[in-house]
């Protein structure tokens, strides 16, 4: 999963990004509204964390810009404003959730996981595909009821596939959900990661769709 974090408070942004990366998320940080609008319009994020008080362009204007351009990514607003009118304005602009400062980073993570899960069309917090289960609340995978140990890159690949199980995930889309903006990953490195995941869950569960990408399927 790849998250856009929009926060001009550098210390807070680093704290949230550190917590998200510790839970295997890929994180890109924008410190102003202009960069945030551009990144949200051009990169395939699973969700965005958006502060309202931003330099360059206010957070509500950023959100309105995304929605006007057809961007449907889930957005969690972070703000120091706790008035009802501010919440109403945020939801009218297209926000999906709202969190008032101060907050715990654990709550940010839980809310993001729920937003990503629901945006992918899953109501229940546990997603199963054959012997593989993904607990979206905890971010944990199990195989045949036993914990599955994954690197951060492997987790990102497998979470992207299981959220879209039985569907083809384009190689380019999967690649962009694994690496952060300046990480410089390529299709060869993605194939290596997919190969490692196959060895851990069983090669038959990840089908290669020639010329397109990969699909997570239940074994025959």
The range of the structural domain enclosing residue 167 comes to: 126-216
Looking up residue 23, the CATH number of its domain turns out to be 3.40.50.2300
The answer to whether residues 79 and 180 belong to one domain is no
The answer to whether residues 8 and 94 belong to one domain is yes
The answer to whether residues 112 and 7 belong to one domain is yes
Q: In angstroms, rounded to a whole number, what is the distance separating the alpha carbons of residues 97 and 99?
A: 7
Q: In total, how many domains does the chain have?
A: 2
Buried b (16+ CB within 10 A) or exposed e, 65-83: bbeeeebebbbbbbbeeee
pLDDT tens digits for the chain (220 residues)?
999 999 999 999 999 999 999 999 999 999 999 999 999 999 999 999 999 989 999 999 999 999 999 999 999 998 887 777 878 888 999 999 999 888 999 999 999 999 999 999 999 999 999 999 999 999 999 999 999 999 999 999 999 999 999 999 999 999 988 888 776 667 788 999 999 999 999 999 999 999 899 999 998 7
User: Which residue among 70, 85, 119 closes a domain?
Assistant: 119
User: Which residue among 88, 119, 150 closes a domain?
Assistant: 119
Looking up residue 167, the CATH number of its domain turns out to be 1.10.10.10
The answer to whether residues 14 and 92 belong to one domain is yes
User: Which residue among 59, 88, 119 closes a domain?
Assistant: 119
């Amino acid at each position: 999963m790849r998250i856009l974090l929009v926060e001009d408070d550098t210390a807070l942004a680093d704290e949230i990004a550190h917590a998200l990366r510790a839970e295997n998320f890929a994180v890109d940080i924008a410190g102003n509204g202009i960069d945030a609008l551009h990144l949200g319009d051009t990169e395939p994020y699973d969700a965005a964390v958006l502060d309202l008080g931003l330099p360059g362009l206010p957070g509500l204007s950023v959100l309105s810009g995304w929605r006007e351009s057809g961007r449907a990514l889930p957005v969690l607003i972070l703000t120091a404003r706790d008035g009802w009118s501010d919440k109403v304005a945020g939801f009218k602009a297209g926000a999906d959730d709202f969190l008032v400062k101060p907050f715990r980073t654990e709550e940010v993570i839980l809310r993001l996981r729920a937003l990503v899960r629901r945006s992918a069309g899953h109501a229940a917090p546990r997603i199963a595909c054959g012997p593989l289960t993904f607990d979206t609340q905890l971010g944990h995978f199990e195989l045949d009821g036993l914990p599955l140990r994954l690197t951060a890159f492997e987790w990102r690949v497998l979470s992207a596939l299981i959220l879209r199980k039985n569907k083809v995930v384009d190689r380019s889309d999967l690649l962009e959900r694994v690496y952060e903006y300046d990480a410089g990953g390529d299709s060869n490195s993605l194939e290596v990661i997919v190969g490692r995941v196959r060895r851990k869950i069983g090669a038959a569960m990840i089908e290669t769709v020639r010329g397109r990408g990969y699909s997570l399927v239940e074994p025959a």
